[in-house]
Amino acid sequence: MKTFKLVSLEVLERSGEDLNNKTINMFDGLIIDREIEKGRWLIEAYMPKEYYDYFTQKKEKNQEFVVQVRITKDSNPKATILVHIKGVHEIEDDMNVVLVGDMVNREREQVEQTLQDLIEAGYQGESLLQKFREKNQESLF
């Protein structure tokens, strides 16, 4: 396993017909390349408790979603990862969230456009994830 410092975390969200990045203000974080399965990553972010309901709702819905992260330093490019939540934990007045996911290997714009197209086509939840994976297998990412 390889562990890196998590510098930034953004959640890709739909807003009307657009996809926007919701910046998550964190105190600290790490990201681990599990190296067990190719492209499988574990992310842990320590943040203010203001995000507790946001991440708890995603966990309760077993919702998979796309995040963009920066690793090690601010000047590094963002990496795009399709994740699901493994845990949301209160830590006194703060919280942490643990995510597990697969790296997406293309430019942000292509990922956003493909996701937007799939959402507009009516895919959501598990069917969105399945179609997203199919597109990935077709080398569209």
1-46: per-residue pLDDT in tens?
Answer: 789 999 999 998 877 767 788 999 999 999 998 767 666 899 999 9
Residue boundaries of the structural domains of the chain: 2-106
CA torsion sign for 39, 42, 45, 49 is positive
Bridge pairing between strands 40-48 and 2-15: unpaired
Give the 3-state secondary structure of residue 102: strand
Mean pLDDT for 108-128 is: 74
- Strand bridging mode 40-48 / 65-71: unpaired
120, amino acid identity: E
pLDDT above 60 for 140: no
Instruction: Point out the least confidently predicted range of 35-49, 54-68, 113-127.
Output: 113-127
pLDDT at 56 over 60: yes
**pLDDT value at position 139?**
42
Of the ranges 25-34, 69-78, 107-116, which one carries the lowest mean pLDDT score? 107-116
Average pLDDT over residues 55-83: 91
Tell whether pTM > 0.75: no
